[in-house]
Amino acid sequence: MSNLDKLLQQWKDNPAFMSSVTRWEVVPAREGRYREFPDYLEPQLAEALGKRRIDKLYSHQYEAIDAVNRGDNVVVVTPTASGKTLCYNLPVVSSMIKDPASRALYLFPTKALSQDQLTELRDLTAGLDTTLNCHTYDGDTEPGLRQGIRRSGHLVVTNPDMLHSAILPHHTKWVQLFQNLKYIVIDELHQYRGVFGSHVANVIRRLKRICAFYGSNPQFILCSATIANPGELAGLLVEEPLTVITANGAPQAEKHFILYNPPLVNPELGIRRSSLLDARRIAAELIGSRIQTIIFTRSRLGVEVLLTYLRQGMKLRPGDDSGIRGYRGGYLPRERRAIEEGLRNGEIKGVVSTNALELGIDIGALDACVMTGYPGSIASTWQQAGRSGRRSGKSLAVLVANSEPLNQYIISNPDYFFGRSPERALADPDNLIILTNHVRCAAFELPFEKKETFGSAEVAPVLEFLESENVLYESDGRYHWMDDSYPAEEISLRSATRENVVIIDTTGTQTRVIGEVDRFSAPMLVHEEAIYMHGGRQFQVEKLDFTEKKAYVSQVDVNYFTDANLSVDLKVLNITEQEEGQVNRAWGDVRINALVSMFKKIRFNTHENLGAGPVDLPETEMHTSAFWLAFRPESLGGMLPSAIQAGLLGLSHLVPEVASLHLMGDPRDLRAVSQIKAPFTELPTLFLYDNFPGGVGYSEEIYRIYRNIFLAAKKVITQCPCIEGCPSCIGPAYQGGEAVKQPALQLLEVILK
């Protein structure tokens, strides 16, 4: 009996553990479906696979290779660890053996994934008679290698950010690549949603434009974890007809999937034991039983707090290594590579990570995955759960719910999770702010013809606007770049903001950069007196220089971490679509003014509030889109203003969480504001806004499916065992002195009538 089998049996025999389990699902093992290598695959490639003990293809691999061979653009959608890499590597490498002049461009959403895939490519091509040059081209590539890669790289592996800022603007240095580009591979397609996907779709438009200029017409091969609309999302991204392959032929080992809800410590108030503390206990049992484990948390802060807890709980002699590491954005590349290698060779027993390790980086044969809080979508949950059992037998995934409404909905409705197909991924390439920025970049790269389209977007008004701003000038029916700036440098694909704030450690005599945060998050994470955590160590922010984009920190040892509060003011600018009735429903453009006004100090382990302090930073402004509902007086049946306000506050706590279920967004991608008498509608109004400049399509989708969202919200409230309201449904029981649960239910009845 394996260590994992023994621990699972212990849990089953433990009534205290089982009382918190809402579902213990066993996903059965499944046989694979296989096909022989096709005749047109290069024989030396089949030999190279034979040396790796691969003598057949999974059925979906065969279908993908066959479709590529026919000249189709292809999107392959199968679960984690189903061998998607061979779906593109085999046809690309086979084609290059036949025609060594041809080129391929591989796009991965992160540098870590690019490095991992390069290793895979080099292993595959190492024994071939034909020499193929495979290289990564990213921010970590040494300057001395860059010229050689541009001149003679057969397979260039990069990320969308590097393509956007360093390759496309300098396309004249990449003539060999663009003249001979035969394949463009885009992996982890499901990551290209929301604001990031909207940016990347425009980067692909620029890439296709440059390919056309050099006379190439590359084929697209895309791969994705399971989402509901892979063909639609891939079509948005590449704007080409596609063959969609979804039938998975890979074998699957047995997986135990446990939904775990921490017990109530105060049933009346609906207060549960901390998910972080229960995740720590479960992870400690797994690591203590010598079961290699990955623990996912929702935030950078969560990584550092949980890493601290796990290390504290281990009885180590001074100088001993705990074998537990943290992994998140903000760590330096060298640290991340060392952690990945430690996981592969088994030196690291446990890793606490944000979703940075959710993607298909090869981190070896982990046996268990613990998720601290629902990852935000069914697709992401299965992606994280798939990090265990990739190359081993039986595996385990545990989802430890927190008190947020979305978590409690999933944990209380296991059939919703296990029985429902994953969500639709949304992106909006024609978001005016994003589109305008990329038209600027495209005009820098090549002049625009007056009647030229940009993918499917009409850009004549954008070109005229940029001419009026003295960015372009028109001559003989063509728009030419005339500005001094380098536009790609000013645009981040990952966020609404342009630059990151670097974090500088001033402890001791030598200063050093230890990480970075995006400019929009900086007021929340690195305001003065904030505790910034890195690698399990605590640093206090001494100074935030917002102008120079630098935060100065020094190492401290305190018994708390910090959490900042955000206050928001919303103004409607115009209505795009509306429907009037007892409740008026609309969506349109809004302006958001946000201010980080204060922060709280929260004690480790007990999570009690130790006090608060002010934050003195300027207000930020954002234009975005919002959905809103305005309640006419006659629909409210004589509800008192105080009850209406309490009900709106309750819904503003709950509805963004539930809406994110239907939108495949992170709950933080949507924010809510309630106004008892909104200046624009002059009525009690609930606003839900896209938390990105310009919006990415969430508000329009909510306008379309609002009824499903509010029905789910009603289900959360009615299923919650609390009496007057709690953090698991509509927030604290009393807001402004009023009970919340009943007024919130009354407003939902009005909306759904």
356 plus 334 within the same structural domain? yes
Extract the tokens encoding 461: 């008004």
Check residue 752 and report its DSSP letter. H
Averaged pLDDT, 337-343: 81
State mean pLDDT over 352-359. Answer: 76
Contacts of 54 (CB under 8 A, 6+ apart): 86
Residues 46 and 190 in one domain: yes
pLDDT number for residue 510: 82
Answer for the pair 473, 467: CB distance below 8 angstroms, yes or no.
yes
Contact assessment for residue 3 and residue 246, using Cβ atoms and an 8 Å cutoff: no
**Residue 513 belongs to a domain:** yes
720, 726, 729, 734: CA torsion to nearest 10: 120
User: Within this chain, do residues 579 and 664 fall inside the same structural domain, yes or no?
Assistant: yes
Examine the domain organization and report whether 109 and 15 are in the same domain: no
Note whether residue 427 is domain-resident.
Answer: no
Q: Distance between CA atoms of 163 and 172, rounded to whole angstroms?
A: 14
Q: Which two tokens mark 439?
A: 């038209």
d(CA 515, CA 378) in angstroms, rounded, equals 31
Q: Tell me: the pLDDT tens digits for 480-504?
A: 999 888 888 878 776 544 567 889 9
Judge contact between 665 and 394, C-beta under 8 A.
no
pLDDT-derived band at 627 (thresholds 50, 70, 90) equals: very high
Whether residues 195 and 283 fall in one domain: no
Give me the CATH number covering residue 146. 3.40.50.300
415 vs 71 pLDDT, higher one: 71
pLDDT score, position 383: 83
Domain assignment present for residue 425? The answer is: no
461 against 316, higher pLDDT: 461
Cα separations (Å) of 326 from 221, 350, 507, 533, 666? 33, 9, 21, 11, 22
Chosen domain end from 392, 419, 446? 419
Do 604 and 636 reside in the same domain of the chain?
yes
- pTM for the structure as a whole: 0.77
- What value does the mean pLDDT take over residues 462-476? 92
Q: Is 304 domain-assigned?
A: yes
Q: Which of 202, 218, 245 represents a domain boundary (last residue)?
A: 245
Rounded to whole angstroms, the Cα distance separating 99 from 259 reads 51
Residues 10 and 132 in one domain: no
pLDDT of residue 228 exceeding 90: no
pLDDT digits (tens, 9 = 90+) for 598-622: 888 888 766 678 888 888 887 778 8
Domain count, the chain: 5
- One domain, residues 486 and 553: no
* Position 73 in a domain: yes
Q: Is residue 424 part of a domain?
A: no
Which own/partner pairs from 672-681 qualify as long-range (CB within 8 Å, at least 24 positions apart)? 673/568, 673/570, 674/645, 674/648, 674/649, 675/570, 675/648, 676/641, 676/644, 676/645, 676/648, 678/572, 678/628, 678/630, 679/571, 680/571, 680/572, 681/572, 681/584, 681/628, 681/630
Residue 495 lies in a domain: no
Tell me if residue 620 falls in helix, strand or coil.
strand
Q: Which of 191, 214, 245 is the last residue of a domain?
A: 245
User: Which of the four pLDDT bands, split at 50, 70 and 90, describes residue 535?
Assistant: low
Model confidence pLDDT, tens digit, residues 108-160? 987 767 877 888 888 888 878 888 889 999 877 888 888 889 888 899 999 99
Domain that residue 665 falls in: 567-610+617-752
Residues 226 and 317 in one domain: no
Q: Evaluate whether residue 344 is within a structural domain.
A: yes
User: Confidence class of residue 735 from pLDDT cuts 50, 70 and 90?
Assistant: low
For 29-81, the pLDDT digits (tens) are 888 899 999 999 999 898 888 888 888 999 999 999 999 999 999 999 988 77
Same domain, residue pair 535 and 623: no
Q: Are residues 460 and 582 in the same domain?
A: no
- In a shared domain, residues 184 and 80: yes
Q: Tokens in use for 102?
A: 């041809």
- pLDDT over 90 (residue 479): yes
What pLDDT shows up at residue 364? Answer: 61
Q: What is the mean pLDDT of the chain?
A: 87
Reported as a single tens digit per residue, the pLDDT across 76-98 is 998 877 888 999 999 999 999 99
pLDDT digits (tens, 9 = 90+) for 546-600: 888 899 999 998 888 888 887 888 999 999 999 998 899 999 999 988 888 888 8
Cβ partners under 8 Å of residue 318, min gap 6: none
Give the model confidence (pLDDT) of 174-224 as tens digits: 999 999 999 999 998 988 887 888 899 999 999 999 999 999 999 999 998
392 has a pLDDT exceeding 60: no
pLDDT at 496: 47
**Predicted local distance difference test score (pLDDT) of residue 638:** 85
